[in-house]
């Protein structure tokens, strides 16, 4: 039973051309790796966008512009300081906390004269052109 296999002869039970790759297995492995590569790219892109948003928030959103900071400081100074507005009439500005306390103490009525004209009084101003001034009622 010592059979020698000569050139071009195929041993018993083997297919001719046994060096051929397994095509279905190669296709499945390629497909799996393509899906894994796609998932990796999507995850890395999502990670990049998250880091980009964090950097944007840290560098742009969280930092107030210098002009805005100065303006807010000036406004706070105006709200929390005394100021002489009209020396002839004795009109002064008081800090907002004091003003709010006085209004609360007076039961919601301001101790200062109203800045707005009383309700029902027409605003003072020039009459519309081409019309005569209205006669006073009464």
DSSP output for 43-90: HHHHHHHHHHHHHHIIIIISSPPHHHHHHHHHHHHHHTS-EEEETTTT
Look up residue 22 and give its two tokens.
């397994």
Residue 119 lies in a domain: no
Q: Which helix (H) or strand (E) holds 92?
A: strand 91-93
| Prediction pTM value | 0.37
pLDDT of residue 88: 87
Q: How far apart are the first and last CA of the chain?
A: 142
For residue 70, the enclosing domain spans: 66-105
The yes-or-no verdict on residue 118 having pLDDT over 60 is no
Residue 12 lies in a domain: no
Q: How far apart are CA 55 and CA 114, in angstroms?
A: 50
pLDDT of residue 6: 61
- The residue out of 12, 41, 63 marking a domain boundary is 63
Q: How far apart are CA 111 and CA 102, in angstroms?
A: 7
Q: Do 73 and 57 have their domain in common?
A: no
Residue 135 lies in a domain: no
> What are all long-range contacts of 74-78, with beta carbons under 8 Å and residues at least 24 apart?
none
What is the domain count for the chain? Answer: 2
Q: How many CB atoms lie within 10 A of CB 100?
A: 11
Q: Do 53 and 73 have their domain in common?
A: no
Per the model's pLDDT, the better-predicted residue between 103 and 117 turns out to be 103
pLDDT of residue 37: 98
Q: Do 88 and 59 have their domain in common?
A: no
Residue 115 lies in a domain: no
Q: Do 84 and 97 have their domain in common?
A: yes
Q: Do 43 and 74 have their domain in common?
A: no
């Amino acid at each position: 039973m010592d059979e020698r296999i000569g050139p071009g002869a195929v041993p018993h039970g083997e297919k001719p051309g046994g060096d051929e790759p397994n095509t279905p297995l190669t296709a499945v492995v390629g497909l799996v790796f393509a899906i894994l590569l796609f998932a990796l790219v999507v995850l890395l892109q999502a990670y990049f966008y998250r880091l980009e948003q964090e950097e944007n928030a840290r560098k742009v959103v969280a930092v107030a512009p210098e002009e805005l900071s100065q303006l807010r400081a000036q406004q706070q100074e105006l709200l929390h300081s005394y100021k002489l507005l009209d020396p002839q009439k004795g009109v002064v500005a008081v800090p907002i906390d004091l003003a709010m306390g006085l209004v609360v103490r007076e039961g919601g009525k301001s101790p200062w004269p109203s800045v707005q004209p009383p309700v029902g009084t027409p605003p003072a101003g020039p009459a519309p052109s081409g019309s005569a001034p209205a006669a006073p009622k009464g």
